[in-house]
Amino acid sequence: MAEDPIIATDNSLKKLELERSDDTVSRFLGGLNHTIRKLVFRVISSGPIPQHIAFILDGNRRFAKKWKMTEGAGHKAGFLALMSVLKYCYEIGVKYVTVYAFSLDNFNRRPDEVQYVMDLMQEKIEGFLKELSLVNKYGVRVMFIGDLKRLYEPVRVAAEKAMAATAGNTKTYLLVCVAYTSSHEIPRAVYESCEEKNGVMNENGSVNGDVNTGNGSEVVVKMVDIEKHMYMAVAPDPDILVRSSGETRLSNFLLWQTTNCLLYSPKELWPEMGFWPLVSCILEFQKNYKYLEKKKKQA
């Protein structure tokens, strides 16, 4: 039996009213959250704001297991959390954000697991480039840090496209550490420093005037020479290193650069990271700011 047109129209109007009501509530809550966020950031801005925050994105798989989701769903939730955290960081005035996306040691995992992560990484890089509102609003320049030759070709191509597409941005930076470990970065920087010093020596064995020497004609490699060749030389050292899920291990990440920064380990799994955990992190930084600055001056 066909539905009465009057009843059908009435039902459609009720449905439309409910949808509009839900939309109104959503917009109201969204506006309220935005207002609260601005007020909180205004209060926080009265104190020192970190210039550079680094994140170890820990807990995606545990989040998926906790909520009985597939492993891939946990990483997708982690990507959404990253987009939110980036937005909050840039809104409060953090200029550099570094994330540890894939360690060189991870290549030792099962081939199918490595392939899965590579495919996921390619998908997320391409997905980030579609977040034009975030990229354009905050002027984000994306830089991939590490031994990029080790990446699978589709991932490397996607990374190169992202870097080229955002190369003109200078307002904020997103540094993505892939195929990276400090135990690879540091020896590489030492080797390249030595190669550079040896390259400026004359053929007869004498040393050019602009090269530091010790006794005789031996070339002296200083700390500043090594730091110049670090992968992370493109950014200042982090003010805060955050590892989610309560873990306190550095996992071979930024060992050289984190000598005098705050180490912060919130209990939230990475997909649970958001506005309030970030606020707590910055408040902890402000509480320890004078001590951290004193240590930097003593270094």
53 pLDDT more than 60:
yes
For residue 122, pLDDT beyond 60 = yes
24 or 60, higher pLDDT: 60
- Over range 6-24, report the average pLDDT: 55
Range 169-183 average pLDDT? 97
User: Which residues does residue 97 pair with via DSSP β-bridges, in sequence order?
Assistant: 53, 174
pLDDT at 75: 87
For the chain, helix (H) and strand (E) counts, in that order, are 10, 6
Classify residue 99 by its DSSP letter. E
- The pLDDT-based confidence of 131 (bands split at 50, 70, 90) is confident
Q: Across 3-7, 38-42, 143-147, which has the greatest mean pLDDT?
A: 143-147
Active-site residue flag, 225 = no
Average pLDDT for the chain: 87
At 238-255, the pLDDT tens digits run: 999 999 999 999 999 999
- How far is 57 from 192, CA to CA, in rounded Å? 30
The rounded distance, in Å, linking the Cα atoms of 12 and 10 is 5
In 3D space, the residue among 70, 74, 9 whose CA is nearest the CA of residue 245 turns out to be: 74
Name the more confident of 30 and 286: 286
Poorest-pLDDT segment among 70-79, 231-240, 255-264:
70-79
Mean pLDDT of 165-182: 96
pLDDT at residue 202 in the model: 47
pLDDT above 50 (res 79): yes
**Position 24 confidence tier, pLDDT thresholds 50, 70, 90:** low
Name the burial class of residue 98, with classes exposed (0-12), middle (13-18) and buried (19+) by CB atoms within 10 angstroms of its CB.
buried
Confidence of residue 22 (pLDDT cuts 50, 70, 90): low
Sheet arrangement for strand 140-145: 140-145, 172-180, 96-103, 52-56, 240-243, 262-264
* Confidence at 15, pLDDT banded by 50, 70, 90: low
Among 58, 225, 237, 239, the one annotated catalytic = 58
Q: In the predicted model, is pLDDT for residue 139 greater than 70? A: yes
Q: What percent of the chain has pLDDT over 90?
A: 68
Greater model confidence, 21 or 253? 253
Mean pLDDT of 59-64: 93
Phi/psi region, residue 278 (left: phi>0; alpha: psi -120 to 50; beta: rest), is: alpha
pLDDT tens, residue by residue, 81-102: 999 999 999 999 999 999 999 9
